[in-house]
Structure 1
Amino acid sequence: MVEHFFEELLAIMCASLLATVLLQRLRLPNIIAYLLAGSIIGPHIMGWVAQPSDFAFLAEFGVVFLLFALGLEFSLPKLIALRSSVFGLGGIQVVFCTLAFGGAVWLWGTTLEAAIIIAGALALSSTAIVTKELSTLREVHSRHGQLSIGVLLFQDLAAVLFLILVPVLAGNESTSLLTALGSAFGKGVFLVILLLSVGKWLLPPLYKEVALAKSDEVFVLSTLVIVMLASWVTHSFHLSMALGGFVIGMMLGESHFRHQINSDIRAFKDILLGLFFVTIGMNIQVQLLLDFWPRILVFTATLILIKTILISFLVKLSGDSKNIAVQTGLNLAQAGEFGLALLALGVMHGVLPDDQASFIILVAIFSMAVSPFLIRYSNQISSSLWALLGDKNAKNISDEYRVTLPQLDHVIIGGFGRVGKTVARLLEANAIDYIAIDQNIGVVGNERGRGHNVVYGDCSKMEILHSCHIGSARMAILTFSSIEMAKNTIEQIRASGFTLPIIARCCEHGDFAELLSIGADYVVPEMLEASLVIGAQVLDLLEISQNDIDSQIELERSEQLSSRGRY
C-alpha cells in the first residue's frame, strides 16, 4: 500500500514538473500545466493513478494554504482605499454573474445546489493570471488594471464565502437550504470571532518566542501547526477548512512577521495547491472532451462574451471610458483557480455530479488558456471593436492613468510618506528620475494625481522591484518607518545579487548597526539627526559661532556613530 502510494506520488511530481516546464515556454499559467498533467496520468488516459480520491484530503490543504496566503495579503486600509471598485463594482459583478449563470444552469436541468456552485465558479476570475499578465505588461497601475484588481479583491472575498458554502450545500437533505445557510452563517460568525479573539492574545507572544529561538524550522513548524489547528476548528463545526486558514492569515497579515511567514509557507502552498489542481485534472473525463468539444468551445466563447459584456457595461456605468470598460471586461472574462477549487470541492462533497463538473472544468480551462492573449491584446481588441462599430470618438484614455516608469539611471524610493516626498521633491528639482513604491493605495492615487511617479506595491517583494527596473537603478532609498520592511527589502535586494547603493532610514538608534550589517550602505538614524538639529539651534540661539556649531555637531555625530558604522 505504501509502495503503491509512493509510486503514484512520484508519477504526479514527474508529470507536474514536465508539464510546467513545457507550458512555461508557451507562457501559459502553471494551473493549466497541473490540470494537463493530472488528466494524462489519471484513470481516464494513462491510469498511473487509479484512485484520485486517495490524494483528495492532502490536496484540499492546498486550498487551505491558498486562503491563508490570501489572508496575509488582505488589510483593512487596502480594502477601504479601493472600496468603490471592490465593494461597488466587484460586488455588483459577482451578484449579477452568479444570478445570470445560476439561472441558465438551473434551467439547463441541474439541482439548485449544483447551480449555485457552478454559477459561483463561473462568476469568479483568475487572480493569478490577471495579476501576472498586468504585472508583465506593467499595467497594474493603469485605470483598467486598478479596476480589475479591485474586482478581483472582492471576488477573492466572495470565493471564501462560496468555499464555506460547499459543506453546507452538501448537508442533510431534510434541512432546508435557508436553514442550513443561516446555521452556517451563525457558526461562521462565532468561529471568526473566536479565532480573532484567541489569536489576538496568543499569536503575538507565541511568534515572539518563536523568533527568539532563531530557528527556521521552529518558525515554519509553528506556522503549519497554527494553520492546521485553525482549519481543524472550522472543520469540526462542519464548515470549510479554508475559513480557518483565511482568518488566521488575516490576523498574521497585520503583524511584522507577515513577510517571513509568506516566504516560509510559499513552497508548501505552491506544492499542495499544485497537487490540488492535479487531482482536478485526474477527474477530467477526456472522452467528454472528444465527444463534446464543439459544445465546450461554444460554452467557452459564451462565458467569455457574457462576462466581458456584463463587466464592460458595469464599468461604463460607473463613469469610465468605453475603452477602459472593454479592457477591464476582457481582463476578467475567464474562470479562475478559485472556481476550479469550488467545482472540485463540490464533487468531493457529492453536491456536483462528475460529468457536469468535468464539462464545466473543461470550459473553465479553455477560458483560462485563452485569457493571457485577451489581456495582452485588450487595448487593440477594444480599439478595433469601437472602430468596427463606427464610434470614432471612443478614445483610449487609459494612458492618462498609467505611470510611465523610467527604466535607466533612476532612483527607487521605498515609501512615500513625508520623508519620501521630501526626497522626491529634491530629485525633481535636479531633474533626476525616480520611482516611488508605497503600499497605501490612497497615497498612491493622490500623489499620482499630483504628477508624482508613484506605484502601488510591497517594496520588499522582488517582483515589484523588478517591475521598477531595479537592475538599472542608480540607488535605492528606503524611507519606511517600519524597520521590518526596511530589513526585508535590503535582504531581498542583496540576496538577488544587486549591488546598487542603499540608503535607509531608521527611527531607533539601535537599529543602525543591524541595517548596515545586512547590506545598507548608508543609514540615517532619525532620532540622532533630530537631536543634532535641535542642538544646533540651541547653540545658535546662545550665539555660538557657526563654525564652532558645525564642528561640534560633526564631532558629536562621529562619536555617536563611530561604534556603529558609517553615515
Structure 2
Amino acid sequence: MPQDIVFSFFLVFAGAMVLATFALFTRQPLLIAYIALGAIVGPFGMGWIEHPDELADMADIGIIFLLFLLGLDMQPSALFAVLRKAMLVALASSLVFFAAGFALTQAFGFSTMDSVIIGLAMMFSSTIIGLKLLPTTVLHHKHIGELMIGLLLIQDMLAILVLILLGVLEGGSSMPVWQPFIALPLLAVACYLLVKGVLLPLIVRFDRYHEYLFILAIGWCLAVAEGAKLVGLTHEIGAFIAGVTLATSPIAQFIAISLKPLRDFFLVMFFFALGARFNLQLLADVALPAMLLALLVLVLKPVSFRLLLGRFSERRELAWDVGLRLGQISEFSLLIGFVAVQSALLSEQGSLLIQATAILTFVISSYIVVFSLPNPIAVSDKLRRD
C-alpha cells in the first residue's frame, strides 16, 4: 500500500513537537528526540511509517543545504589554507580509526571482509552532528570552524574513494579511481566562472526581488550538487562548492538567513529516518560488539585528534574541542554499509553493527557536546551559542 505522505509528515512533525517539548523540559538534546521518534513510529516500532527510506531520500536535501550554507560563509583563500593544514591530520587519523575497527571486529570473529568494511566505516565523522552542534559565530568566523570543515571535506573525499573501490570489488563500477580528484578542481573552476559571468550580473540586476534571489540560490545549489554527482563526486561536495563560489556575492548573508529554516526542516527528517530504519529486533545479535566499538570510537577519536592536532601547533583546548565534536562515526559510514550489503561484500550482521555503532555514537557524542561545549541547542544558558 502506498505511504500517505501527508500522514507521514504529520507523524514526523507533530511527534517531533511533542518529544522536543519533553526533551526541553527534561534538558535533553533535541537530536535525541528526533531519533527516538523515528524508532517509536517506524517499521520496527509501532509500524505507523512502513517505508522510512522514502523520507530518508528527501531528508538528504537537508545535508545538501547544510553544506551549501557552510560554503556561503567560507572564503576560498581561507578554505585552501585550512585544507593544507588538515590533510595530514585527516589521513593519519583515518588510518588509526580503520586499524582499531578492523582489530576489534576480528577479535569478535567477523570475517576479514566484514572487518575491512567496518574498519573503513569507522574512519569518518558525522558532518551533520559536528557542524549542527557548532555555534554559527564560531563556525563562520573562528579557526575551529574552518579546521572542522577542512577535516570533514577531506574525509568526504576519502569516503567517495571507498565507495568507488566497493564498486570496483563488486564489478559494477566503471568509474576510474582518479576521476573524482580530477573532477573536483574542474567543477570548482567551472562554478567560479559561472558565478562571475552569469549569477553575479543577475543578482545585481534583480537584487530588489527577494523571491527571485531565494529561488536562484536554491536552483544554483541543487544544480551544482547534481552536476557533482554526475562527475563522480557527491551532492554534498557539489553543494559546498556552490556555496563557496557564491560567498563573495553581496547577498551571501541574505541567502544564508533565508535557507536556514528550510535546512532545519529537512534535518529533522534526517534524524527521524535514522531512528526509523534501525532494526531494534536484531539489536541483541550485535549488542556487545556495538557497545565496545562505540566506546572505542568515543574515546579514540577525541584522543587521536587531540594528539595529531597538537602536533601541528594547534592549541590544546582547540584540539580537544575538535576531537569531542568529531567523536562519532558518519552518515557516510551508513552509506558504505548499505552499498557493501547490496554488493554482497558485507554480512547482514556487519551492516547492523555499523548501524548500531552509528546510533550509539550519534546519541552519546551529542550528549557530550550539548552538556560540555558551546552549541546552539545547549540546555544550559551558559553554553548556548547561536
Q: Which whole-Å CA distance do the structure 1 matches of 2:289 and 2:115 have between them?
A: 23
Q: Which whole-Å CA distance do the structure 2 matches of 1:17 and 1:162 have between them?
A: 37
Q: What one-letter code is carried by the residue in structure 2 that aligns with 1:67?
A: L
Structure 2 residue aligned with 1:389: none
2:134 corresponds to which of 131, 135, 145:
131
Are 1:68 and 1:246, in contact at CA under 8 Å, matched by a contact in 2?
A: yes
Are 1:125 and 1:335, in contact at CA under 8 Å, matched by a contact in 2?
A: no
Give the CA deviation at 1:37: 1.7
Q: Which whole-Å CA distance do the structure 2 matches of 1:179 and 1:210 have between them?
A: 41
Structure 2 residue aligned with 1:168: 164
The 10-residue stretch of structure 1 (311-320 or 223-232) with the greater mean CA deviation from structure 2 = 311-320
Any idea what the Cα deviations from partners look like across 1:412-456, whole Å, max 9, x if unmatched?
A: xxxxxxxxxxxxxxxxxxxxxxxxxxxxxxxxxxxxxxxxxxxxx
Are 1:20 and 1:34, in contact at CA under 8 Å, matched by a contact in 2?
A: yes
CA spacing shift, 1:256–1:356, aligned 2, 3 Å:
farther
Structure 1 residue aligned with 2:188: 192
Structure 2 residue aligned with 1:203: 199
Give the CA deviation at 1:16: 2.5
Give the CA deviation at 1:378: 7.0
Q: Does 1:95 align with 2:94?
A: yes
Aligned ranges for residues 160-559 of structure 1 at < 5 Å? 160-162=156-158, 164-165=160-161, 168-169=164-165, 171=167, 173=169, 180-211=176-207, 214-290=208-284, 292-318=286-312, 324=317, 327-328=320-321, 331-332=324-325, 334-335=327-328, 339-344=330-335, 347=338, 350=342, 355-371=349-365, 374=368
Q: What one-letter code is carried by the residue in structure 1 that aligns with 2:45?
A: I
1:114 corresponds to which of 113, 117, 120:
117
Unaligned runs of 5+ in 1: 380-460, 470-567
CA spacing shift, 1:66–1:372, aligned 2, 3 Å:
closer
SS at match of 1:121: coil
Larger Rg: 1 or 2?
A: 1
Structure 1 residue aligned with 2:57: 57
CA spacing shift, 1:236–1:92, aligned 2, 3 Å:
closer
Q: Which whole-Å CA distance do the structure 2 matches of 1:275 and 1:69 have between them?
A: 18
Q: Which whole-Å CA distance do the structure 2 matches of 1:290 and 1:74 have between them?
A: 44
CA spacing shift, 1:54–1:331, aligned 2, 3 Å:
closer
Q: Which whole-Å CA distance do the structure 2 matches of 1:111 and 1:293 have between them?
A: 17
CA spacing shift, 1:170–1:274, aligned 2, 3 Å:
farther
1:154 corresponds to which of 140, 144, 150:
150
Q: Which whole-Å CA distance do the structure 2 matches of 1:343 and 1:156 have between them?
A: 16
Structure 2 residue aligned with 1:17: 17
CA spacing shift, 1:362–1:17, aligned 2, 3 Å:
farther
Q: What one-letter code is carried by the residue in structure 2 that aligns with 1:91?
A: A
Q: Which whole-Å CA distance do the structure 2 matches of 1:285 and 1:147 have between them?
A: 40
Q: Which whole-Å CA distance do the structure 1 matches of 2:14 and 2:370 have between them?
A: 31
Are 1:40 and 1:46, in contact at CA under 8 Å, matched by a contact in 2?
A: yes
Give the CA deviation at 1:57: 2.8
Structure 2 residue aligned with 1:420: none
Give the CA deviation at 1:282: 1.4
CA spacing shift, 1:91–1:204, aligned 2, 3 Å:
same
Q: What one-letter code is carried by the residue in structure 1 that aligns with 2:99?
A: A
Any idea what the Cα deviations from partners look like across 1:39-82, whole Å, max 9, x if unmatched?
A: 21111001111112222332222221122112112223434675
The 10-residue stretch of structure 1 (301-310 or 351-360) with the greater mean CA deviation from structure 2 = 351-360
Q: What one-letter code is carried by the residue in structure 2 that aligns with 1:7?
A: F
Aligned length: 370
What is the root-mean-square deviation in Å for CA atoms of aligned residues? 4.1
CA spacing shift, 1:355–1:5, aligned 2, 3 Å:
farther
In percent, how many aligned pairs have the same letter? 19
Q: Which whole-Å CA distance do the structure 2 matches of 1:165 and 1:27 have between them?
A: 40
Give the CA deviation at 1:347: 2.2
Q: Which whole-Å CA distance do the structure 1 matches of 2:3 and 2:101 have between them?
A: 44
Q: What one-letter code is carried by the residue in structure 1 that aligns with 2:334?
A: L
SS at match of 1:58: helix
Unaligned runs of 5+ in 2: none
SS at match of 1:181: coil
Q: Which whole-Å CA distance do the structure 2 matches of 1:13 and 1:378 have between them?
A: 28
- Give TM-score, length-normalised by structure 2: 0.77
Q: Which whole-Å CA distance do the structure 1 matches of 2:83 and 2:57 have between them?
A: 36
Higher strand share: 1
Higher helix share: 2
Q: Which whole-Å CA distance do the structure 2 matches of 1:286 and 1:220 have between them?
A: 41
